[in-house]
């Protein structure tokens, strides 16, 4: 894979598509149209595309609701009572966890709060949270308000690790140094597995080890990691993780979120949690007894009756992931993003108007390349949109920003439905714009 020599021409891109065993999966997806043609959709990092099977499966569950009503929980092919089990099975290889360590429930920010209820237990001596500067805003607000909820001052309790002056990415050693420095006062380390803005993948294993050495708990928000980069949550000994299903996991706007709780915590009766009846031990749940008795595993963190209608697209999508095989998807992803990088470099060599800030090393990034642009960046973005490319634009907000950039264009070709030709067409437009 790494020995592949790329060529900047359409025939070469098409040859890679012909050789790609995952290419047929593209046919399963619905593409937004531009002038009667499929757009080049590079926004799977914000909202993955809808697969064609979703509508049929949704209609099936509506029919089951119509014909079975309450019995839909207990009978038929997909009883709602056990609906989450297949999701956990198919998520297991994607998250590097056992099915019992996984649960699909709620939405992401809610799950982040629920996990912090259990895993952020500050004391007067140990109350700090270490996180990356410039984390996704929802995570910043969740952390800030959790800290306040426990009566601490965010200015003292939140330690943000920033890029060095004039740089965009975090150094591993700066993260580890922060853990070392604040270790004995730190209750929780919370990082995005993949930074949403720069596309940088953090060394989750090293962070987890360092955090545990310091006596802290370690959790990850994998919103940009799930279905994008390989993770081994169980083997890395991560305490908890959360993610959403509507980005790389293609499960629809506001789709159900997932949570991971390491097996060593699930039987711990002293671990506090906010409970609801759906997290009660399943075989005796309907006896409706007083006194909460959690179900084993991550399922014991459920609160409410599951939202089946948002779990249907997730089920369909995870079946596609299982068919494609996550490892094969990742192998294609490395090639596809490698090709994108190669072509962008060819063009950016001719101009100083933009440059890639995402790490070069394939194991330190996923699909996404973040392209930092100068003043006229918004102009370039508008040009691409006008020519049928869908991607997204973020005003600059890097912690160490020197004020010279206008913003970042995030380009995320996904291995499930994007092609090498998509990538080539995109680069062709970039070149036309520059010259």
Ligand X SMILES: *Cc1c(COP(=O)(O)O)cnc(C)c1O
- Residues in contact with ligand X by the rule CB under 6 A: 107-109, 136, 138-139, 192, 196, 221, 223-224, 244
Least distance CB 137 / ligand X (angstroms):
8
For residue 358, give both structure tokens.
């995402």
Nearer to ligand X, 87 or 380 (CB): 87
| CA geometry: angle 113, 243, 276, nearest 5 deg | 45
Least distance between ligand X and beta carbon 192 (Å): 5
Q: Find the shortest distance in angstroms from Cβ 222 to ligand X.
A: 8
Residue closer to ligand X, measured from CB, 338 or 359:
359
Question: Rounded distance, CA 251 to CA 48, Å?
Answer: 7
d(CA 311, CA 19): 33
**CB count, 10 Å around CB of 386?**
10
What is the C-alpha R_g of the chain?
A: 22
DSSP string, 3-20: TPPP-SSHHHHHHHHHH-
Q: How remote is the C-alpha of 217 from its chain's centroid?
A: 20
Q: Whose Cβ is closer to ligand X: residue 128's or residue 224's?
A: 224
What span, in angstroms and rounded, lies between the C-alpha atoms of 44 and 245?
11
Q: Which of 326, 338, 407 is nearest to 367 (CA)?
A: 338
Phi, psi of 356 (to 5 degrees): -80, 130
- The residue among 107 and 374 lying less far from ligand X, judged by its C-beta, is 107
Please, what is the minimum distance in Å from the beta carbon of residue 48 to ligand X?
12
Concatenating the DSSP letter of every residue in 91-141 gives HHHHHTS-GGGEEEES-HHHHHHHHHHHH----SSS-EEEEETT--HHHHH
Q: Kindly tell me which of 109 and 337 has the beta carbon lying closer to ligand X.
A: 109
User: Of 426, 354, 350, 349, which Cα lies nearest the Cα of 389?
Assistant: 426
Taking the complex as a whole, how short is the minimal distance between the CB of residue 219 and ligand X, in angstroms?
12
Task: List beta partners, residue 102.
Answer: 260
How far apart are CB 288 and ligand X at their closest, in Å?
A: 31
Least separation, in Å, of the C-beta of 103 and ligand X? 16
Q: How many C-beta neighbours within 10 Å does residue 359 have?
A: 16
Given the complex with ligand X, which of 190 and 214 has the nearer CB atom? 190
Least distance in angstroms from the C-beta of 142 to ligand X: 8
Give the shortest CB-246-to-ligand X separation in angstroms: 7
Q: Are 267 and 296 in contact (CB under 8 A)?
A: yes
Q: Based on CB atoms, which residue is closest to ligand X, 246 or 278? A: 246
Cβ distance to ligand X smaller for residue 138 or 319: 138
Nearer to ligand X, 175 or 295 (CB): 175
| CA proximity to 276, closest of 315, 257, 302 | 302
Bridge partners, 164 (sequence order): none
Q: 249-282 burial, b if ≥16 CB within 10 A, otherwise e? A: bbbbeebbbbbbbbeebbeeeebebebeebbbee
Please give the DSSP secondary-structure letter assigned to residue 412: B
Q: In whole angstroms, what is the distance from residue 283 CA to residue 180 CA?
A: 45
Closest distance between ligand X and the C-beta of residue 138, in Å? 4
Secondary structure of residue 310 in the 3-state scheme = helix
Eight-state DSSP code of residue 352: S
Nearer to ligand X, 222 or 427 (CB): 222
* CB nearer to ligand X: pick between 196 and 417: 196
Measured CA to CA, the distance from residue 365 to residue 225 in angstroms comes to 9
**Beta strands 217-221; 186-192: pairing state:** parallel
Q: Which is nearer to ligand X, 108 or 299 (CB)?
A: 108
CB of 373 to ligand X, least distance (A): 21
> What is the closest distance, in whole angstroms, from the C-beta atom of residue 428 to ligand X in the complex?
30
């Amino acid at each position: 894979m790494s020995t592949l020599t790329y060529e900047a021409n359409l025939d070469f891109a098409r040859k890679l598509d012909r050789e790609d065993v995952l290419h047929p999966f593209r046919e399963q997806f619905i593409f937004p149209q531009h002038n009667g043609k499929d757009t080049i959709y590079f926004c799977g990092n914000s909202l993955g595309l809808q697969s064609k099977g979703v509508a049929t499966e949704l209609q099936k569950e509506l029919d089951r609701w119509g014909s079975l009503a309450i019995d839909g929980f207990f009978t038929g092919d997909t009883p709602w009572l056990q609906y989450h089990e297949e999701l956990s099975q198919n998520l297991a290889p994607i998250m590097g966890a056992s099915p019992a360590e996984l649960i699909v429930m709620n939405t992401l920010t809610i799950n982040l709060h629920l996990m912090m209820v259990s895993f952020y237990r500050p004391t007067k001596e140990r109350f700090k949270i270490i996180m990356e500067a410039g984390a996704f805003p929802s995570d910043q607000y969740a952390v800030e308000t959790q800290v306040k909820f426990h009566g601490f001052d965010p200015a003292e309790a939140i330690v943000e690790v920033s890029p060095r002056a004039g740089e965009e990415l975090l150094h591993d050693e700066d993260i580890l140094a922060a853990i070392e420095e604040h270790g004995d006062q730190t209750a929780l380390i919370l990082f995005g597995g993949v930074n949403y803005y720069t596309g940088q993948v953090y060394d989750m294993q090293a962070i987890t080890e360092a955090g545990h050495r310091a006596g802290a708990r370690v959790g990850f928000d994998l919103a940009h990691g799930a279905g994008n980069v390989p993770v081994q949550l169980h083997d890395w000994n991560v305490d908890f993780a959360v993610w959403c299903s509507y980005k790389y996991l293609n499960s629809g706007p506001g789709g159900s979120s997932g949570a991971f709780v390491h097996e060593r915590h699930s039987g711990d009766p002293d671990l506090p949690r906010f409970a609801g009846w759906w997290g009660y031990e399943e075989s005796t749940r309907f006896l409706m007894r007083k006194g909460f008795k959690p179900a084993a595993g991550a399922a014991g963190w459920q609160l409410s009756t599951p939202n089946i209608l948002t779990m249907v697209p997730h089920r369909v999508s995870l079946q596609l992931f299982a068919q494609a095989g996550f490892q094969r998807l990742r192998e294609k992803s490395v090639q596809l993003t490698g090709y994108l990088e190669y072509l962008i470099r060819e063009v950016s060599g001719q101009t100083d108007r933009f440059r890639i800030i995402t790490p070069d090393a394939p194991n330190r990034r996923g699909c996404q390349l973040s392209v930092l642009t100068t003043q006229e960046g918004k102009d370039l973005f508008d040009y691409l949109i006008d020519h049928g490319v869908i991607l997204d634009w973020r005003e600059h907000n890097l912690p160490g920003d020197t004020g010279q950039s206008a913003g970042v264009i995030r380009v995320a070709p996904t291995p499930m439905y994007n092609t090498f030709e998509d990538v080539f067409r995109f680069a062709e437009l970039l070149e036309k714009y520059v010259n």
